[in-house]
Structure 1
């Protein structure tokens, strides 16, 4: 996140452009930030237009008290035009740079300046243009600025301050050089206040009072700059929150929602390398290669999506972590990133639930006109190594070690053993189920047997279904 650091104050405009470009790049690379900016912009714009409509509606009611003549209708009609322009801006509102939107904002400010620097055509009295210009009308620009902070980015708020300063200065020059004057009024004022030059300067009807006009410009620009700075800080907060949302979404790909909240609020670095005991589960579709050969690509992808969704739901329901998809296979762990006493038992429950869900899954296959499938599962418990692996641009949280290898080969052993599931004795023991006292829900597990796994010299005791 960039900071607004300026060692040279004359580089402020260049620095503002740099910040704008950095925010655009970040929004393009972060989907959550892009969505957050769009939501914030549209909600803010709707609120701004409503606030603008209410404020200008009150101005319509205020005008007759300030000008109790029929000429007030002229200004009331213009206020309605500005209300319509506000709703048109909402219709054209978009996230990011919009020429049409900026043009309408500039049109707002230009018309307001023109209104205050030209005479009301319905006023019959011969009045100097300067009277209209200096009649405390400048305060209405603050309404535009206030609603702008609700709807627009800090850059646009800064632009409003800059445009108003330029337009009001040009208005002062125009009125001074080309405005209608009534010299008789200046003569009368000079005669009345000849002994009070300060009062004369304030009351001369043909004077634009440049000192007061400069004061208005400077104060407005300072207020706009402060509001733009506040908008920039709010934008930085929004960008940080979007980054957090992206991180939480990334966590939710692997962990159940209940654990995501815990991890997001924890100061612990889950990517730090460490060793701990976990249960590792592998599952895949038996005969997937043949299925893929017999079916269309769309049907294969439909199968994989449904199968992965089923496995994810079961894993998360039992407090597990979805480690990775391996084509038609899935690797899951129980005990990452934090261990629990129930990890082995949860893995065992997930195993039996997956086998039960296989039947319901095949009913859905039949409804889609697809062949039924059979899944196989292998589960082991033991020490693993956890941590981030890969280059900095492709970091991935990984679980590796002998326990992972054993679990994978237990799943592969289901083909040779002619069963659907192979669970190691280590996991059964850790889960609290001895061979002699299996709980009723696990009674379908067979007697223990020792099997030899590829790449390992020592046989391993397992139970099967």
Structure 2
């Protein structure tokens, strides 16, 4: 099993970009929903034709909400577009709050619009900007809101009939109580308060963004681990940091499985079908390995190397390995039944399992790390798997594996289909290896076998 070290920040940025796109879509939907609710309320509470003016403004707000989605779809959604849309949004809101309704005849002077605390609606606008997951966008939206409101207040303040005050109290009948009065201090407080709230929201968005980034990174790491480890180990490994830096010696079951006669099969197939066959085989075998709490070590051509008891030994590793092998045979039977419906030839596999001490840990360098097991047990398991051709059986296990299954004692009937065969000599080892073959009587040989 190997993992190259990709530029994780790039992958996380791409993943977060997808989250931002989803947030943009959610914000647009929420905006349209809220505006439609407001429109329904206005239709109920405001008589015709006054309500038509507000309907027009609502339509403009909806269009401004949809424009970002259109720009993003065509690849035009960037920092400049975001800034322009925020300015147009803030400007339209300021106009809505300060400009008089042309369908209403009123004797109120424009200065009275500043007495209704309409500025509070800008905080709703700012809350909507927080859905962007962008602290910069929140600060920009706050600045745009403050600027748009300030321009509106200035246009009213600059009218020749405006009475200007500082908020310290009326000094004459034409002061504070005048309908033409504009309080400059109130405007200053509104702008300062808007920027403070924008900064607080930006800080909150920044913190939530970091939390989301950590969650995305953790999920990415978990997804990578899930490609190699059974689900029951993924959570523990995802929290463990770098658990494989130090090699460890431990007992484990090592399983090899491959397609018998794959070279001959591949010779008569086009390359794309060979790849499809390998993917189908690997996918099915990997699924069975994970279902029995095994670890996928590596693919070696058409072969699969899996281990049981790594990275942490358990009390049923040998049992899981043997159950996995039997599950693989059942999976191949089901696959062959489907292949037969398409007129494809059946496949045969050979499986070999050995149990004993292995050395487990990372090998390679920082750019390409491979967690694997090495040792005599791995070599013997590979050579036992090759014996399946000689004995004409799909599954052979070592006597050490059988002894471990019995010692674990989880399933007394698991060995019912196995028969002990003649001990086999393994090249490079002095002592022969006791082997057990599945479905006794399928082409046994009384002569000792030499494992090449």
Shorter chain as denominator, the TM-score bin is: 0.7 to 0.9
Q: How far is 1:277 from its partner? A: 0.4
Partner Cα distance (1:61, 1:230) in 2: 37
- Would the aligned equivalents of 2:298 and 2:306 in 1 still touch at CA under 8 Å? yes
Aligned to 1:17: none
Q: 1:29 to 1:143 in 2, by over 3 A?
A: closer
Aligned to 1:255: 229
Q: 1:259 to 1:235 in 2, by over 3 A?
A: same
Q: 1:238 to 1:351 in 2, by over 3 A?
A: same
TM-score between the two structures when normalised by the length of structure 1:
0.78
Aligned to 1:80: 58
Q: How far is 1:262 from its partner? A: 4.7
Q: How far is 1:353 from its partner? A: 2.8
Which structure dedicates a bigger proportion of its chain to helix? Answer: 1
- Would the aligned equivalents of 1:28 and 1:34 in 2 still touch at CA under 8 Å? no
1:166 equivalent in alignment to 2:147: yes
Q: 1:125 to 1:321 in 2, by over 3 A?
A: closer
Partner Cα distance (1:443, 1:361) in 2: 25
Aligned to 2:112: 131
Partner Cα distance (1:326, 1:441) in 2: 28
Deviations 1:102-128 (A, max 9, x none): 544332211122344544444555664
Partner Cα distance (2:247, 2:18) in 1: 34
TM-score between the two structures when normalised by the length of structure 2:
0.80
Partner Cα distance (2:241, 2:215) in 1: 17
Partner Cα distance (2:319, 2:110) in 1: 87
Q: How far is 1:410 from its partner? A: 2.0
Matches within 5 A, 1:12-411: 26=9, 28-29=11-12, 32-54=15-37, 73=51, 76-81=54-59, 84-85=62-63, 88=66, 92=70, 97=78, 102-122=83-103, 124=105, 128-150=109-131, 153-177=134-158, 179=159, 181-182=160-161, 196-197=170-171, 201-264=175-238, 269=243, 272-411=246-385
Partner Cα distance (2:399, 2:172) in 1: 101
Q: 1:218 to 1:263 in 2, by over 3 A?
A: same
Q: 1:146 to 1:32 in 2, by over 3 A?
A: closer
Partner Cα distance (1:206, 1:25) in 2: 61
Structure 1, unaligned stretches of length 5 or more? 1-23
Partner Cα distance (1:148, 1:417) in 2: 71
- Would the aligned equivalents of 1:85 and 1:108 in 2 still touch at CA under 8 Å? no
Q: How far is 1:201 from its partner? A: 4.4
Deviations 1:27-75 (A, max 9, x none): 644665444444444345434543454456557767x6xxxx9895465
- Would the aligned equivalents of 1:85 and 1:104 in 2 still touch at CA under 8 Å? no
- Would the aligned equivalents of 1:36 and 1:242 in 2 still touch at CA under 8 Å? no
- Would the aligned equivalents of 1:45 and 1:93 in 2 still touch at CA under 8 Å? no
- Would the aligned equivalents of 2:353 and 2:397 in 1 still touch at CA under 8 Å? yes
Q: 1:366 to 1:204 in 2, by over 3 A?
A: same
Q: How far is 1:244 from its partner? A: 1.4
Partner Cα distance (2:103, 2:412) in 1: 95
- Would the aligned equivalents of 1:324 and 1:332 in 2 still touch at CA under 8 Å? yes
- Would the aligned equivalents of 1:60 and 1:79 in 2 still touch at CA under 8 Å? no
Q: How far is 1:440 from its partner? A: 5.7
Q: How many residues are paired up?
A: 424
Structure 2, unaligned stretches of length 5 or more? 1-6, 439-452
